A and B are shown apart, each in its own frame.
Chain A
């Protein structure tokens, strides 16, 4: 079974531009979460999508948005890029959302997209 895939793997943009990152979850997984990893802040939760609906959102400005398609693939968009947006953006998929089924649904992470903003 193929793992979580993310495209592109590397991206270089300049300040003010916008960017769209893509994530394809493991086949059969319906929940997709996005995280930002930076050296000083570690992994920070951005948002989670399930059945094309955003279920939860982290503490990021409105420049960060996302969506999920009917095939569970998800995209994340960052508008008006800032230097501080340079990070590794990770996508994770799970069968069901984390807080359901009275337990923990394991998340599987993709390799990430390394975004550099110049």
Chain B
């Protein structure tokens, strides 16, 4: 049972344009949502997080939006750069637990 879903396995975007990565979840008991970025042969690196009490969090070129009624979150990258090419995982943390539940990832390719 996949509680966190990333339905798009890949996304291709032109440099300078906006990249939108989507994530859906089924458990309403998540209190934190996070995005991680992963390059080949490296571990995931934390990008940005959002608490369930907020609907938007922004950090430089990265903005995460949370729509609790739709159980949906998205990561916007503006403007996209070739160095953003990587696999992006969304993750959610259930309330009062110490674990993260990850989605299956979306491979983003930013081309010149």
Contact = CB atoms under 8 A, between A and B. Distances in A.
Given A35-B102, A41-B104, A56 B97 contact: yes
Nearest to B105: A42
A111 B98 contact: no
Interface residues of B, number: 26
Nearest to B32: A104
Contact of B46 (A50, A90, A108): A108
Q: How large is the interface on A (under 10, 10 to 19, 20 to 34, 35 or more residues)?
A: 20 to 34
Contacts of A48: 98-99
A110 B43 contact: yes
Contacts of B51: 103-104
B69 interface: no
A99 B101 contact: no
B98 A33 contact: yes
B97 A107 contact: no
Given A98-B97, A104-B32, A104-B93, A90 B102 contact: no
A22 to B, nearest CB: 15
B41 A111 contact: yes
A98 B43 contact: no
A4 interface: yes
Contacts of B43: 4, 90, 92, 108-112
Contact of A98 (B36, B42, B100): B100
Interface in A23-78: 31, 33, 35, 40-45, 48, 50, 55-56, 58
